A and B are shown apart, each in its own frame.
Chain A
Amino acid sequence: MHKILFLLTILLSPIVALEPIAPLPTTLDDINLEKAKLGRTLFLDPILSSDQSISCHSCHSFEQGGADNRRVSVGVQGRKGDIQAPTVYNARFNFKQFWNGRAADLGEQASGPLTAHVEMNMRPENIETTLNASTFYQERFKSVYGTNTITINEVIDAIVEFEKALTTPNSRFDRYLRGEIELNEMEKEGYEKFKSLGCITCHNGINIGSNAFQKMGLFIDYPYDKRYQDLFALTRKENHKNVYKVPTLRNITLTAPYFHDANATTLEDAVTKMAKYNLGITLSKKDLKLLMTFLETLEGDRPAILDMP
Chain B
Amino acid sequence: MRHTMRRNTNLILVFIMGIGSVFLTSYYYLHQREYAQQYKTVINAFHTMQSDYDTLSYDILKSALYSYNNQDDISKGMYHLNLDYGNLYNASLFQNVHYLSLDYPLIDLGISVAEYNNALEDYLMLNAGIKNSFVFLLNHTESTHDLFPPEATIHSDINAITSELSNMRRLLDEKHLKTVNEHLENIRRFKTTNNDQRIFIETLTLHVDYIQHNFPAFITVITVLENKKLSKELAEIENSFDEIAKDDFIVLDRLAILMLLLIVMALVVVVYLLIHSQRENLRLRGLQKELEYLANFDTLTGLLNRNSFNHIVVSKQYKEPTLLLINIDEFKHVNDLYGADVGDYILKEVSQLIKMSIFEPYQPTYFRFGGDDFGVLLETIPKKMAAGFAEAVIQSIKHFIFVDNAVDINITVSIAINSEDPLLENADMVLKHYRKQSSKAVVTFSKDLKLKEQIQNNIDILHALATAIDEHRVVPYFQPIVDLASGQIVKYEALVRQIAIDGTVIEPEKFLEVASQTPLYRELTKVMIEHVFAAFADKPYRFSINLSMRDLLDNELMSMLEGQLKADPESAKRLEIELLESENLFDLQAAERFITLLKSYGCRVAIDDFGTGYSNFSYLAKLSVDTLKIDGSLISKIETDEKYFKTVQTIVHYAKTLGVETVAEFIETKETVQKLRDIGVTYGQGYYFDRPQATITQKKIIL
Contacts and interface: CB of A to CB of B under 8 A. Distances in A.
Contact of B68 (A18, A104, A214, A280): A18
B207 interface: yes
Contact of B131 (A196, A201, A239): A201
B68 A215 contact: no
Contacts of A220: 206
Given A202-B128, A218-B129, A280 B135 contact: no
Given A235-B118, A280-B207, A282-B203, A14 B128 contact: no
Contacts of A17: 62, 66, 69-70, 73
A231 B124 CA distance: 14
Nearest to B207: A280
A196 B135 contact: yes
Given A204-B70, A280-B132, A281-B136, A239 B207 contact: no
A19 interface: yes
A243 interface: yes
B68 A195 contact: yes
Interface stretch (A48-56, A122-130, A205-213, A255-263): A205-213
Contacts of B78: 95
A22 B125 contact: no
Given A196-B139, A198-B136, A212-B124, A280 B70 contact: no
B68 A200 contact: yes
A20 interface: yes
Contacts, number: 104
B125 A212 contact: yes
A195 B76 CA distance: 22
Nearest to B206: A280
A235 B119 CA distance: 12
A275 to B, nearest CB: 11
Contacts of B122: 239
Given A17-B66, A18-B66, A220-B206, A213 B131 contact: no
Interface in A114-148: none
Contact of B70 (A20, A195, A281): A20
A231 B74 CA distance: 19
Contacts of A213: 121, 124-125
A204 B79 CA distance: 17
B206 A239 contact: no
Given A18-B68, A20-B69, A20-B70, A95 B76 contact: yes
Nearest to A205: B72
A72 interface: no
Interface string B390-429: 0000000000000000000000000000000000000000
A204 B206 contact: no
A198 B75 contact: no
Interface centre among A201, A213, A237, by most chain B C-beta atoms within 10 angstroms, is: A201
Contact of B79 (A95, A231, A279): A95
B23 interface: no
A243 B129 contact: no
Nearest to B78: A95
Nearest to A210: B75
Interface of B is mostly: helix
B171 interface: no
B132 A198 contact: yes
A195 B67 CA distance: 9
Contacts of A280: 132-133, 136, 203, 206-207, 210
A176 to B, nearest CB: 16
Contacts of B133: 280
B167 interface: no
A110 interface: no
Contacts of A231: 121
A218 B210 contact: yes
A246 B79 CA distance: 16
A204 B125 contact: no
A219 interface: yes
A305 interface: no
Interface string A229-252: 001000101010001000000000
Contacts of A47: none
Interface string A156-186: 0000000000000000000000000000000
Contacts of B135: 196-198, 201
Nearest to A220: B206
A21 interface: yes
A21 B210 CA distance: 27
B71 A204 contact: yes
A155 B577 CA distance: 126
A282 B72 contact: no
Contact of A205 (B70, B79, B121): B70
A211 B75 contact: yes
Contacts of B127: 201
Contacts of B217: 239
B71 A212 contact: yes
Contacts of B72: 22, 93, 95, 204-207, 211
Contacts of A282: 199, 203
Given A20-B69, A95-B76, A219-B210, A14 B62 contact: yes
Interface in B51-103: 62, 65-76, 78-79
A243 B203 CA distance: 22
Contacts of B76: 95
A205 B129 contact: no
B688 to A, nearest CB: 129
Contacts of A201: 67-69, 127-128, 131-132, 135
Given A95-B76, A218-B210, A204 B68 contact: yes
A95 B122 CA distance: 15
Interface string A259-295: 0000000000000000000011110000000000000
5 contacts: A196-B139, A198-B132, A218-B125, A280-B136, A282-B203
Q: Which 6 A-B pairs have the closest CB atoms?
A: A95-B75, A198-B132, A205-B72, A211-B75, A212-B124, A201-B128
Given A219-B210, A220-B206, 4 more contacts: A204-B71, A213-B125, A219-B206, A280-B136
